[in-house]
């Protein structure tokens, strides 16, 4: 019999005290990589995102379960235990779990866990090798350290909305947030990278670490080219619709039956575009021959391109430019994405059994390994689904579990 797939983190234990999205996203990444992730939730209520619906998963009886799509997006592969952190018995459970863990993830307000004796300094007493990561809106220092934050707020405060959306004076002009909670997701990614870096360092020096992740810091860091455009020029970036601020032509163009995306990344691709459209002279025109010139003269160039594109259907143009090696594609709906042959070929949609009696759809991890195949992870857990099993693993017998339940500690 062949051995079941083991992810590269199958030796790692994670205690996930977080909720909502940013830190749970990091926990799901670690679970996808094979780590054992124990999700600690409030008795009776659980993670806020369980109720962030509709939509909710439909059970085998056709009725909605209590598992919202939002929750199902960020919690696969984890085990759920309910623990009341306010009760001394609950605090003892967390300490026992921390004693066995490699990594702790938490996203409580600054100082909250210290009141319960579950902060980094307290848990390090029971496990000196612990990697403890706090994820908050603004980090552990600074004038806003005690304030609550959400993705939408940080997109605004961190400058992302100022460069997202159509420019003022055009139809639909004005700041826009990104259509997915991108700051939460990027914060989860940075969190996963940080704890794995600390784990690698611990393997070298034997010491754990404390990691402070702030969502606003993450958003400032991911301003990337827009931040550097400002820092080297002194010119504040503005919203520019779908047009790229530094590379052209990159924009949405209208064909006879709908829109396409054109993404020309260099002068060679531009020459291929011109040849494919039957306009090779454009590539020699001094207004368009180099990218800096195209950026300066993009309004003129876009008008010429638009006139050509309207002569084609989307399918015709995409096929024509694909053959020429010029990046061009449709604007897919979410439904279209999961019908795309490339997405299907990569196995990005999977279904796993759920305790409600149905298979729950899951968007697969994009990570692919040659030497350590990622296991098919379990569905996001029901609230407290694994409480009894986890408690047994840390020394609680059946009678002790009953007492904890009666006292409201779990």
Q: Looking at residue 404, what is its pLDDT?
A: 97
Judgement on whether residues 260 and 366 belong to the same structural domain of the protein: no
- Asked which of 276, 298, 333 is the last residue of a domain, the reply is 333
CATH number of the structural domain spanning residue 301: 3.30.1540.10
For the chain, how many structural domains are there in total? Answer: 2
Closest to 318 measured CA to CA, from 372, 385, 256: 256
Residue 1 pLDDT grade (very low, low, confident, very high; cuts 50, 70, 90): very low
Question: In the structure encoding, which two tokens stand for residue 127, read together?
Answer: 């496990």
Q: Looking at residue 373, what is its pLDDT?
A: 77
Closest to 107 measured CA to CA, from 7, 19, 235: 19
- Which residue in 32, 102, 184, 209 is the catalytic one? 184
Judgement on whether residues 159 and 271 belong to the same structural domain of the protein: no
Q: What is the mean pLDDT of the chain?
A: 95
- Does 240 fall in a domain? no
Judgement on whether residues 313 and 355 belong to the same structural domain of the protein: no
Q: Is there a catalytic annotation at residue 184? A: yes
Q: Looking at residue 284, what is its pLDDT?
A: 96
HSE-CB at 60 with a 13 A cutoff on CA atoms is 7
Residue 333 CA to residue 258 CA, distance in Å, equals: 13
Judgement on whether residues 179 and 127 belong to the same structural domain of the protein: yes
- Does 200 fall in a domain? yes
Residue 191 CA to residue 23 CA, distance in Å, equals: 7
Handedness of CA 140, 144, 146, 147 (dihedral sign): negative
Mean pLDDT of 93-117: 97
- Does 28 fall in a domain? yes
238-255 residue pLDDT tens: 998 999 999 999 999 999
pLDDT score of 2 more than 60: no
Omega before residue 313 within 30° of 0, cis:
no
Residues in the chain: 410
Question: In the structure encoding, which two tokens stand for residue 213, read together?
Answer: 């992740």
Q: Looking at residue 4, what is its pLDDT?
A: 58
Mean pLDDT of 279-306: 97
Residue 6 pLDDT grade (very low, low, confident, very high; cuts 50, 70, 90): confident
- Asked which of 285, 304, 333 is the last residue of a domain, the reply is 333
185-242 residue pLDDT tens: 999 999 999 999 999 999 999 999 999 999 999 999 999 999 999 999 999 999 989 9
CATH number of the structural domain spanning residue 124: 3.40.50.10540
- Asked which of 299, 333, 367 is the last residue of a domain, the reply is 333
Residue 266 CA to residue 291 CA, distance in Å, equals: 7
Judgement on whether residues 217 and 116 belong to the same structural domain of the protein: yes
Judgement on whether residues 367 and 327 belong to the same structural domain of the protein: no
pLDDT score of 408 more than 60: yes
Mean pLDDT of 313-329: 96
Those residues whose C-beta lies under 8 Å from the C-beta of residue 64, and which sit 6 or more positions away, are 53, 54, 56, 57, 58
Question: In the structure encoding, which two tokens stand for residue 203, read together?
Answer: 């393997």
Q: Looking at residue 172, what is its pLDDT?
A: 86
- Does 231 fall in a domain? no
Question: What percent of the chain lies above the pLDDT cut of 90?
Answer: 94
Mean pLDDT of 58-84: 95
202 neighbors 124 (Cβ within 8 angstroms): no
- Does 302 fall in a domain? yes
Judgement on whether residues 190 and 268 belong to the same structural domain of the protein: no
Judgement on whether residues 58 and 205 belong to the same structural domain of the protein: yes
The pTM of this model reads 0.93
115-127 residue pLDDT tens: 999 999 999 999 9
141-177 residue pLDDT tens: 999 999 999 999 999 999 999 999 998 888 889 999 9
Domain range enclosing 264: 250-333
């Amino acid at each position: 019999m062949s051995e079941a797939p083991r992810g590269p983190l199958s030796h790692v234990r994670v205690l996930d005290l977080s909720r909502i999205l940013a830190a749970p996203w990091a926990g799901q990444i670690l679970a996808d990589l094979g780590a054992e992730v124990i999700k600690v939730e409030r008795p009776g209520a659980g993670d806020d995102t369980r109720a962030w619906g509709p939509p909710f998963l439909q059970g085998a009886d056709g009725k909605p379960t209590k598992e919202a799509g939002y929750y199902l997006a960020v919690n696969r592969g984890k085990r759920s235990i309910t623990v009341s952190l306010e009760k001394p018995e609950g605090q003892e459970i967390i300490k026992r779990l921390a004693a066995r863990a490699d990594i702790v993830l938490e996203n409580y307000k600054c100082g909250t866990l210290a009141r319960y004796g579950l902060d980094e300094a307290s848990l390090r007493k029971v496990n000196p090798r612990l990697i403890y990561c706090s994820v908050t809106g603004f980090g552990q220092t600074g004038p806003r350290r005690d304030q609550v934050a959400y993705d939408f707020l940080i997109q605004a405060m961190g400058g992302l909305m100022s460069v997202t959306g159509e420019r003022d004076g055009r139809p639909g002009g004005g700041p826009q947030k990104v259509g997915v909670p991108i700051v939460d997701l990027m914060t989860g990614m940075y969190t996963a990278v940080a704890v794995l870096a600390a784990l690698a360092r611990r393997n070298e020096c034997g010491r754990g670490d404390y990691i402070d992740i702030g969502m606003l810091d993450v958003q400032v860091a991911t301003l990337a080219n827009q931040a550097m455009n400002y820092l080297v020029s002194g010119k504040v970036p503005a919203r520019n619709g779908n047009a790229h601020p530094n590379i052209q032509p990159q924009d949405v163009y209208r064909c006879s039956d709908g829109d396409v995306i054109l993404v020309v990344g260099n002068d060679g691709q531009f020459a291929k575009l011109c040849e494919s459209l039957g306009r090779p002279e454009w590539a020699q025109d001094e207004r368009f021959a180099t990218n800096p010139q195209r950026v300066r003269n993009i309004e003129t160039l876009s008008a010429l391109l638009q006139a050509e594109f309207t002569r084609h259907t989307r399918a015709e143009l995409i096929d024509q430019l694909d053959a020429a090696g010029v990046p061009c594609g449709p604007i897919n709906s979410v439904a279209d994405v999961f019908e795309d042959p490339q997405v299907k070929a990569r196995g990005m949609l999977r279904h796993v059994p759920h305790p409600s009696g149905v298979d729950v759809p899951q968007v697969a991890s994009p990570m692919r390994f040659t030497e350590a195949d990622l296991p098919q992870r379990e569905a996001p857990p029901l609230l407290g689904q694994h409480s009894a099993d986890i408690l047994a693993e840390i020394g609680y017998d059946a009678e002790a579990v009953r007492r904890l339940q009666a006292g409201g500690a779990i």
